[in-house]
Amino acid sequence: NKILKAIIREYVKTALPVSSSRLAGKDNFNLSPATIRNEMAVLEARGLIEQPHTSSGRVPTDQGYRYFVDYLLSEKSLSREEQKKLALELLKTKAGHNKLLRRMTKILSRLTGGIALTSVQDDEWVFDYGLSRLLREPEFDEKASVSEMVEMVDLLDEHANELVNERGQELEIYIGRENPLSASRNCSLMVSRFSLPSGERGVIAILGPKRMRYGRNMSILDYMIKLLGGATLGGFFLVDCGGQLSKFLY
């Protein structure tokens, strides 16, 4: 588990296949490259990592990412300073929920590096494509990968109301070919539902490479959902923002 976690974290950071010698050089590893190679062989046999044709290193499979998200990921809440910064950015929007959602979507895209989309019941998606950032990622060097991403955005547009009205857990993560809308090779989709104080239901989605920072993105999404529902406005923000945000949202 420690080795799989290290491979995924290193691959997320570098986008390069991870070798046993690279892991052995890490300060927190007291294992020889040979021992790590043996452990990597076990992970490969379980279908959690694979070897690209042109490299001696290994990369996570969809199944490996899924195991990481379900069992190894330790989600960290945003710091109080990060929470305050996000709330103050939203305070710049002095209008109804459409402009609030548009600004939140823009912030979400910037912070996660992905395509962020937001929709409220019976309304159109608010887009912030973030394509300029995504196109700098190595996964999208090929034209086919860019086409796949655009197709996913189109499918999200078509199924917006279904996603808003779907019942179930608040946060869902679809990795690669798990995606119910499209058998995507290179993309992951995070979907989280929310309710506004007015009672309207909505959904926020992040579309990005499988090599996204899942823990960080989950923390950002979770906090934004709380802001939208007004759940965090009773203490910290009421003090730090003088109640402005609660007045604005309600």
| pLDDT tens for each residue of 156-191 | 777 766 776 676 657 889 998 888 777 677 889 898
The better pLDDT of the pair 154, 27 is held by 154
* CB proximity list for 130: less than 8 A, separation 6 or greater: 109, 110, 113, 114, 115, 116
The Cα 105–Cα 113 span in angstroms is: 12
Q: Are strands 115-120 and 201-209 parallel, antiparallel or unpaired?
A: antiparallel
pLDDT on residue 247 = 43
> Could you report the per-residue pLDDT of 34-48, keeping only the tens digit for each?
999 999 999 999 999
The Cα 13–Cα 43 span in angstroms is: 20
Alpha helices in 92-142 (DSSP H): 97-112, 131-134
Give the sheet arrangement for strand 187-195, strand by strand: 126-128, 115-120, 201-209, 187-195, 171-175
Task: Give the rounded percent of residues in the chain with a pLDDT score beyond 90.
Answer: 25
In order of start, what are the domains of the chain with their CATH numbers? 2-72 (1.10.10.10), 80-249 (3.30.450.40)
| 8: amino acid identity, one letter | I
Over the chain, what is the mean pLDDT? 80
pLDDT on residue 71 = 92
The model's pTM: 0.83
Which long-range contacts does 34-43 make (Cβ < 8 Å, 24+ apart)?
36/3, 39/3, 40/3, 40/7, 43/3, 43/4, 43/7
And the tokens for 159? 């199924």
